[in-house]
Structure 1
Amino acid sequence: MTFLSDDLLAGRRPGKPGFGIAASYMATQFASLGLQPGGDKNTYLQAVPLRSGVVTEAQSAFKVTRNGQEQILTFATDFVLQPNMGLPQSQVSAPVVFVGYGVSAPELNYDDYANQDVRGKIVMFISGAPAKFPNNEKAYFSSAATKNSIAAQKGAVGVITVIAAGENNATWNAYAKRVRAGSTWWAGPNGTPNTYLPALKGLAAVAQGVGDSFFTGSGTNLLQAAAALRDGKPASRTLPVTVSLTTTTKYSNIPSYNVVGILPGSDPVLKNEYVVYAAHLDHLGLSAPVNGDSINNGAHDNASGSAFLIETARAFKSLSKAPKRSVIFLSCTGEELGLQGSDYFASNPTVPNGSLVANLAIDMPFFFYPLRDIIPHGIQHSSLRGPVEATAQYLDLKITPDPAPEEVVFTRSDHYSFIKKGIPALFIKGGIITGDPNKDGAKIIAEWRKTIYHKPQDDMNQPFDFNAAAMHVKTNFLIGYLTANDTKRPTWNKGDFFGGKFGSQNATAHDESKNEDKAE
């Protein structure tokens, strides 16, 4: 942790020298432990081609036409545009249809698109998803990637997200600042991201007041529509405006790497299946100074997870006999850019497709007091509940439900990249039981997120409890060890939402892999 969060590495931002130093460090650690290289060309490095896009604001525009009168909106004050990752110049003009949350979920008996023909239209929606959805399903349908994909499937040609203003417009200002910094995705062979949706010619967001103005003359307003949605009532409708979006995007390529080490399994058959531990190596790099410090060291986020990854590998190597299945230790890039490195590995594994059976992500695990309970995100979705419960019982740890579902943690770390490929996955976080009646774990975590998370203050000058850190390593080790030794391949629970949504991908890949083996 101390080395990876040192000022020398300048925040480990992908594409910068500090990240290269960190990747070399992890590769050296894997080699010293005797792990086999799991990257490209018998090395520990898997090249991850990242592509960044930033909107050229002076050459981009958002125009609104109502009753033949055109209004030109102001960038950053009224709207922002997402870069178009496939076209350097893109233009679209179309009527606007408000589609509530922008959610179509027949499996949950909900559809904002019901009775709405949005083909050739620009759809507008608000953030979030229906409150009645289970937490993790709500997180899935709240994501921009899911909403954009649904819009494209329905035939829309553009999307507009309405962002709440927040107190003193703080929510909008923070959102606009993030979007204006651009976005980064891993690029496919043709240079475009695998998530690129060519049907969507414009991706915009507008401030709350602008979104509300689009309702004028529709018989309702934005607040009333949002209230109807909260009450479970339909609110979708055609709005009396046409919008024209012009997006000019400038691209840059960012070379980066995942670091991959492999511990071969001991069973002659099961060694061809892999349990993957993943911890992201990257952080935010440099930023505007906070109290005179501009280096985002990322000690907790996620030098700690990287250190845990090394120590978990050390624990496996200390065994007199390796587990039946092979174990991959993945130190991945680009998590802070949107889970890019883990998504690239899950989409382009360096082992046979279909051979990844489970994932455990280690990210910002929380160890500021003794570890007495764990929050295993994803436990309710698959057979991985078994090894989690056995581990918790063995280590005398309680299992605590997610105390802050509004943080939508389930979709925010590297395990989610594997879930989207149909691979059962877990994300173990430290719990909220401190053992001290004068210390409230939930408040400690909430305060840390408020004052230190993604700030230069996330350095080694924090009250870390390294005995708790050791317990975290034991916990992750045992869950993975039990999974790697179980003769049964991990499965999604019957009727599980994520298993139904993504599970067939991994099953198909597994079947194809077995057929290839037979052919050989």
Structure 2
Amino acid sequence: MIKKLFFNILLLVFFVNIGLQAQQTEDDFPVLKQINPLNIKGHMTFLSEDDLMGRRPGSEGFQIASNYVKSQFIALGLKPANEGSYYQKVPLVHGTVKEEESSASIIIDGKTTTIKLSEDIILSPYYDKAVSEVTAPLVFVGYGITAPEFDYDDYSGVDVKGKIVVYINSAPSTFPTSERAFYSGSSPKYDAAIKNGAIGVISFMHPSNTRRTWASSVSRSNNGGFKWKSPNGIIANSYPDLKVTAFFNNSELDKIFGKTKNKLEEALRLFDEGKSISFPMNVSANIKVATKTEVVQSHNLLGEITGTDPVLKDEYMVYAAHVDHLGIGRAIKGDSIYNGAHDNASGVAILLEIAKTFQALEEKPKRSILFAIVTGEESGLLGSDYLANNRPKGKEKMVANIAMDMPFFFHPILDIVPYGAVHSSLGNQTKQVADILGLKISPDPFPEQVIFIRSDHYSFIKQGIPALFIKSGFMTVPSDTVDRSITDVMWRRTHYHTPQDDMNQPFDFNAAATHVKVDFLIGYLVANEISLPKWNVGDFFGNKLGKKN
């Protein structure tokens, strides 16, 4: 009888504790009260000033931004996290195509037609030697994807050995959202092309995808591209087996498809049904790429808070935000400085406020916290990729990541879109925090934009580390008569990657503070949880990448 009573008491205590956890509110975390929206505004204002000239890696403006962030790390009391230094050197190789020495032409029935650079086609730098030239037949391979998980292969039944493959720069809409994002990335497509013997790739956008204009693509290509160089001198992800990589103008596709244009139209219809179709295009291309390369010294900034648990302190919860932007480029509305206020002075500002919140805790978390301000995101997630592949001594055990990148705060936040939460146990902490703050969780509203692979969290996922990237959703307070699903999307067309992304925008800094609360609390819970973050059983990314970490 006594044993039964004792058991019932224990059971009651257990359920009471569960109930107390479920009833947690923001008031249970008094440290949140010291979050100051004006701090976020202040950091953003400095980092997006014209004087910083758009913070392009290697520029004086980037260095000024870096010096500012370093001073904030010092003021916050963050410890240098790279063997006594805040700096992690990231050697970048900047490549630009020398158009005057490059060329492209199409050969149809023995007749050669010139393809105009920057009007019809954009050539990417070839990083492994000064000149790369190839003449080869073109083969259309759908999306350029081999996805055994979905019994899908664009290369099935078609010979591409020694040829240039042409594909749509996305993935089937029938794929689940995050998996669609994975297969939309360049790396899986390049790997598939090389595995099947192709020597070059030409991609183009799906006709329904209008998120980027040809003029903006040309503007970015004129600034060249970057790759990071490993400590042993190898240029990472340069894909030397592909002698040419290029991007074609959708409005000029007739020039390369010629008599097979009707097959392309048929293919587009079949793709909507989840079917694959590939075919020889009965044309050849001659493409010559002359490239100028130079080494640009850049760096990440790393600061840490040491954990309190004697064992768990060797494991790191990583926060990351990129400080770089596009520098100076094509003038729009009379302005040529790409200030990058939202993209991504906002993420840096939020990270700094998160660090301040951790430092305000009376008792620090069990695990250590690493704060990373990274370079080269706009050129392909380079700084975060370098960090995830070249972890500082003592920081090898990175167990989770949260990245902050233009999270959207133009109106009060009632719901969040947590990219990555459905793939790992981080979804548990995300749900718990959403409940604490009274927020809803919404699905990805734009799966076709493959946002899941377009920010720094993805560098950690590629190394098998569970990660999150959180944006706000479209829910609004009753007094807000604006349809945010329209205005937020319009922002991408009018301000994203333009000089108009400056501080003259209607930011809601109280909403920005909500992002601080969300990201802080998730990281705080992860840093105090005894068990390691883990991939969900059977998860696509856990199975494909989870063993790397």
- What does 1:489-508 align with in structure 2 at a 5 Å threshold? 489-506=532-549
**Who is 2:21 aligned against?**
none
Aligned pair 1:281/2:323, yes or no? yes
**Who is 1:23 aligned against?**
66
**3-state SS, counterpart of residue 199 of structure 1:** coil
**CA shift for structure 1 position 212:** 3.8
Deviations 1:32-72 (A, max 9, x none): 21111013x51111111111111111222223333333333
Residue identity matched to 1:222: L
**Matching residue within 449, 464, 467 for 2:510:** 467
**Who is 1:14 aligned against?**
57
**Who is 2:10 aligned against?**
none
**Matching residue within 121, 125, 128 for 1:86:** 128
**CA shift for structure 1 position 210:** 5.3
**CA shift for structure 1 position 219:** 9.4
Question: CA 1:255–1:222 in 2, change beyond 3 Å: closer, same or farther?
Answer: same
Alpha-carbon distance in 2 for matches of 1:161, 1:289: 27
**Who is 1:476 aligned against?**
519
| TM-score when normalising by structure 1 | 0.92
**Who is 1:146 aligned against?**
188
**CA shift for structure 1 position 73:** 2.3
- 2:170–2:206 CA contact under 8 A, matched in 1: no
Deviations 1:108-146 (A, max 9, x none): 111101122322222111222111011111112112232
**Matching residue within 273, 276, 280 for 1:231:** 273
Question: CA 1:484–1:351 in 2, change beyond 3 Å: closer, same or farther?
Answer: farther
Deviations 1:177-199 (A, max 9, x none): 43343211112246553112121
**Who is 1:330 aligned against?**
372
Question: CA 1:304–1:204 in 2, change beyond 3 Å: closer, same or farther?
Answer: closer
**3-state SS, counterpart of residue 46 of structure 2:** coil
- 1:80–1:180 CA contact under 8 A, matched in 2: no
**Matching residue within 419, 424, 440 for 2:483:** 440
**3-state SS, counterpart of residue 401 of structure 2:** strand
**3-state SS, counterpart of residue 2 of structure 1:** helix
- 2:154–2:278 CA contact under 8 A, matched in 1: yes
**Who is 1:509 aligned against?**
none
Question: CA 1:66–1:390 in 2, change beyond 3 Å: closer, same or farther?
Answer: same
**CA shift for structure 1 position 297:** 2.0
**CA shift for structure 1 position 78:** 2.7
Alpha-carbon distance in 1 for matches of 2:410, 2:261: 53
Residue identity matched to 2:446: A
Residue identity matched to 1:80: I
**Who is 2:203 aligned against?**
161
Question: CA 1:421–1:372 in 2, change beyond 3 Å: closer, same or farther?
Answer: same
- 2:173–2:448 CA contact under 8 A, matched in 1: no
Question: CA 1:261–1:362 in 2, change beyond 3 Å: closer, same or farther?
Answer: same
**3-state SS, counterpart of residue 128 of structure 2:** coil
Question: CA 1:291–1:57 in 2, change beyond 3 Å: closer, same or farther?
Answer: closer
Alpha-carbon distance in 1 for matches of 2:382, 2:279: 36
**Who is 1:389 aligned against?**
431
Q: Which is further off, 210-219 or 85-94?
A: 210-219
**CA shift for structure 1 position 166:** 8.4
**3-state SS, counterpart of residue 504 of structure 1:** coil
Alpha-carbon distance in 2 for matches of 1:311, 1:428: 16
Residue identity matched to 1:453: Y
- What does 1:15-414 align with in structure 2 at a 5 Å threshold? 15-39=58-82, 41-163=83-205, 171-189=213-231, 191-208=233-250, 211-216=253-258, 220-352=262-394, 354-414=396-456
**CA shift for structure 1 position 294:** 2.7
- 2:90–2:300 CA contact under 8 A, matched in 1: yes
Alpha-carbon distance in 1 for matches of 2:501, 2:109: 53
Q: What are the ranges of 5 or more consecutive residues in structure 2 without an aligned counterpart?
A: 1-43
Question: CA 1:219–1:45 in 2, change beyond 3 Å: closer, same or farther?
Answer: closer
Alpha-carbon distance in 1 for matches of 2:346, 2:117: 39
Residue identity matched to 1:331: I
**Who is 2:40 aligned against?**
none
- 1:333–1:340 CA contact under 8 A, matched in 2: yes
- How many matched pairs? 505
- 1:129–1:141 CA contact under 8 A, matched in 2: yes
- 2:419–2:452 CA contact under 8 A, matched in 1: yes
Q: What are the ranges of 5 or more consecutive residues in structure 1 without an aligned counterpart?
A: 507-520
- 1:211–1:222 CA contact under 8 A, matched in 2: no
- 1:280–1:305 CA contact under 8 A, matched in 2: yes
For the pair shown, the structure with the greater C-alpha radius of gyration is 2
Alpha-carbon distance in 1 for matches of 2:97, 2:362: 55
Alpha-carbon distance in 1 for matches of 2:497, 2:261: 43
**CA shift for structure 1 position 350:** 1.3
Q: Which is further off, 29-38 or 62-71?
A: 62-71
Alpha-carbon distance in 1 for matches of 2:340, 2:219: 21
Q: Which is further off, 425-434 or 461-470?
A: 461-470
Question: CA 1:166–1:491 in 2, change beyond 3 Å: closer, same or farther?
Answer: closer
**3-state SS, counterpart of residue 349 of structure 1:** coil
Question: CA 1:7–1:205 in 2, change beyond 3 Å: closer, same or farther?
Answer: closer
Alpha-carbon distance in 1 for matches of 2:77, 2:384: 23
When the two chains are superposed, the root-mean-square deviation of aligned CA atoms in Å is 2.2
- 1:493–1:499 CA contact under 8 A, matched in 2: yes
- 1:212–1:222 CA contact under 8 A, matched in 2: no
